[in-house]
């Protein structure tokens, strides 16, 4: 499983990670191949988006009808995010199978669009999905 390090720069332009720079070499030893990418703020998901999608949306839908969170993840990505999530091809038991991309492959803007699509669909389908709390949004 990939390890992600999030951070920002200070006013002076110094990189500030939420974890220590000293952790990077030790963590890198665990992976034979790795890359460190420097992304613009709009190019990565926020923790709040991930927590809402996995912790609120998928859990509420799963509790509502008994389907697993993975089943809801697949359904939401294909019904509400077909234009956002490409289908990836892989082999499973000798057969060709498909699955949508991970949410971690999307940026903040695309994830916001996906969340809005879910909320719109939930209104028409009467799904019990609570929108993210606007108080938690950054200004």
| Averaged pLDDT, 127-135 | 85
Q: Is the pLDDT of residue 132 over 60?
A: yes
Report domain extents, the chain. Answer: 1-38, 42-132
Neighbours of 74 (CB within 10 A): 16
pLDDT at res. 36: 66
SS3 of the chain: helix, strand, coil, percent, to 5? 45, 15, 40
pLDDT digits (tens, 9 = 90+) for 71-97: 999 999 999 999 999 999 989 899 999
């Amino acid at each position: 499983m990939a390890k992600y390090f999030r951070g920002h720069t200070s006013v002076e332009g110094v990189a500030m990670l939420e974890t220590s720079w000293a952790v990077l070499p030790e963590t890198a030893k665990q992976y034979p191949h790795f890359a460190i990418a420097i992304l613009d703020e709009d190019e990565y998901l926020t923790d709040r988006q991930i927590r809402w999608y996995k912790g609120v949306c998928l859990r509420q839908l799963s509790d509502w009808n008994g389907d697993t969170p993975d089943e809801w993840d697949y359904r939401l990505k294909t019904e509400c995010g077909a234009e956002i999530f490409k289908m990836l091809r892989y082999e499973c038991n000798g057969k060709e199978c498909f699955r949508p991309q991970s949410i971690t492959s999307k940026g903040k803007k695309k994830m916001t669009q996906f969340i809005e699509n879910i909320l719109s669909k939930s209104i028409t389908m009467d799904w019990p999905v609570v929108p993210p709390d606007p108080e938690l949004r950054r200004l």
